[in-house]
Amino acid sequence: MTRHVLLIEDNEQNRYLTTFLLEKSGYRVTSAVTGPDGIELARGGAFDLILLDIQLPAMDGYAVAASLKADPRTRGVPIVAVTSHAMVGDREKALASGSQGYIEKPIDPETFVSEIERFLPSRGVP
């Protein structure tokens, strides 16, 4: 069964690269550009994983993660922050807001898919 990933990312180049890498590895990807749009999609869909940028228009990724974890429809979906926020304390802030993982940008195309797979519930390969 194909895994379905929700990518909440406002940067077009980052969306393109992430989507390309995931689709090449057999994933289905749905994208949102803003936090509120991502929350709406997450609540209405069945996703195996959410990849979440922190710097988003309208609502930052910390607030998005907290909102998704507070909602019974989405609280069970793992969230991985994929962000250029790499200052001291940013990882901890992302994890405290509800993310299970944290990956710094720029992502490494060679290892990105294997990095995010650590956060997927076990059920074999996509």
- The ranges assigned to domains in the chain are 4-117
Contacts of 30 by beta carbon, 8 Å cutoff, 6+ apart: 4, 5, 6, 7, 41, 45, 47
Spell out the per-residue pLDDT of the chain, length 126, in tens: 799 999 999 999 999 999 999 999 999 999 999 999 999 999 998 999 999 999 998 899 999 999 999 999 999 999 999 988 667 788 899 999 999 999 999 999 999 999 999 999 775 444
pTM above 0.85, yes or no: yes
How many C-beta atoms lie closer than 10 Å to residue 10's C-beta?
18
How many C-beta atoms lie closer than 10 Å to residue 90's C-beta?
17
The fold of 4-117 is: Rossmann fold (3.40.50)
